[in-house]
Amino acid sequence: MIVYLNGEFLPLSEARVPVLDRGFIFGDGVYEVIPVYAGRLFRLEEHLQRLENSLKCIKLDNPLTRQQWIERLETLVVRNKGGDQSIYLQVTRGPAKRNHNFPERVVPTVFMMSEPASTLPPSNGVKAITRIDTRWQRCDIKSIALLANVLLRQEAVEVGAAEAILIREGYAMEGAASNVFIVADGVAITPPKSQFILPGITRDLIVEAMQAAQLPYREADISETQLRSADEIWITSSIREIVPVITLDDKRVGTGQPGAVWSQVWQIYQDYKQKLRSNVS
């Protein structure tokens, strides 16, 4: 695997970051995960815009121009032989003597890697649990400090579930590493963007696709009661795409099978990817 570190492309085994890097010491950095289909970066502009927003929120100057990001990302994809991949990139506030204050001179660390990805078959549905959202108040920043998310996801895995859906003050926000949609009375609902959820690129694409296909949807708060009585629940992310939840806290969701609306939206998503693969979009 070839990775990118601070201007160089090199094998993963040769990539080294100083132990005083503020990413390592404080989790002081932000990241993105970008899918690649048939060698093409999926929704690249949107991912780079979200990165820009995250950097602005943590007061770290973007170390690369938009064009430099694109060139480096495209090179990384080629150096890893194209096809389907998942790109992970992160920018940290770089190495400095340990002190909470920002260092006077910041030399950010830019790291990118690629993992091969395989085409996901349509999901048969997964189990999810609910948990109190123990995260901070700036979940809109794609921060590498993910301890709460990690602990919440682990709780799910330990009971054989794929995701923890997080409840804040009686409302479902998102998953530990995904956005959430429900379907109630034929209408798909996802929480509006706020500081309590990550503005997911997959979420936005689904909202756009539903609008284009004139499928009924709303961006609205989802109460815990609505979540528990939903006909369908989906979790969405760049890694998982759109996955139907068929069991929530050991209770059946709807019929206990992937729902009809999920199936329609999943197909639209696949068609969109197919267009990208054949460069029609």
Tokens 């090199």 correspond to 10
User: Out of 141, 238, 254, 268, which residue is the one contacting ligand PDD (CB under 6 A)?
Assistant: 238
Beta bridge partners of 184: 187
Q: Sheet containing 2-5: which strands, arranged edge to edge?
A: 8-11, 2-5, 109-116, 85-92, 29-37, 40-41
Tell me: does residue 198 bind ligand PDD (CB under 6 A): yes
Tell me: does residue 239 bind ligand PDD (CB under 6 A): yes
Tell me: does residue 123 bind ligand PDD (CB under 6 A): no
Between residue 158 and residue 197, which ones bind ligand PDD under the rule CB under 6 A? 174, 177-179
276: left (phi > 0), else alpha (psi -120 to 50), else beta? alpha
User: Out of 201, 210, 227, 253, which residue is the one contacting ligand PDD (CB under 6 A)?
Assistant: 201
Is 251 known to be catalytic? Answer: no
DSSP state of 13: G
Question: Which of 242, 248 has the CB closer to ligand PDD?
Answer: 242
Nearest to 51 by CA among 145, 179, 143: 143
Residues 92, 22: contact at Cβ < 8 Å? Answer: yes
Between residue 5 and residue 64, which ones bind ligand PDD under the rule CB under 6 A? 33
Q: At what angle do helices 201-212 and 44-57 cross, to 10 degrees?
A: 130
User: 97, 142, 193, 273: which is the annotated catalytic residue?
Assistant: 142
Tell me: does residue 202 bind ligand PDD (CB under 6 A): yes
Residues 59, 143: contact at Cβ < 8 Å? Answer: no
User: Out of 80, 85, 237, 247, which residue is the one contacting ligand PDD (CB under 6 A)?
Assistant: 237
Tokens 């991912």 correspond to 47
**Judged by CB under 6 A, how many residues of this single chain contact ligand PDD?**
15
Closest distance of CB 105 from ligand PDD, Å: 30
Closest distance of CB 143 from ligand PDD, Å: 10
Active site residues: 142
Applying CB under 6 A, the residues found at the interface with ligand PDD are: 33, 149, 174, 177-179, 198, 200-203, 236-239
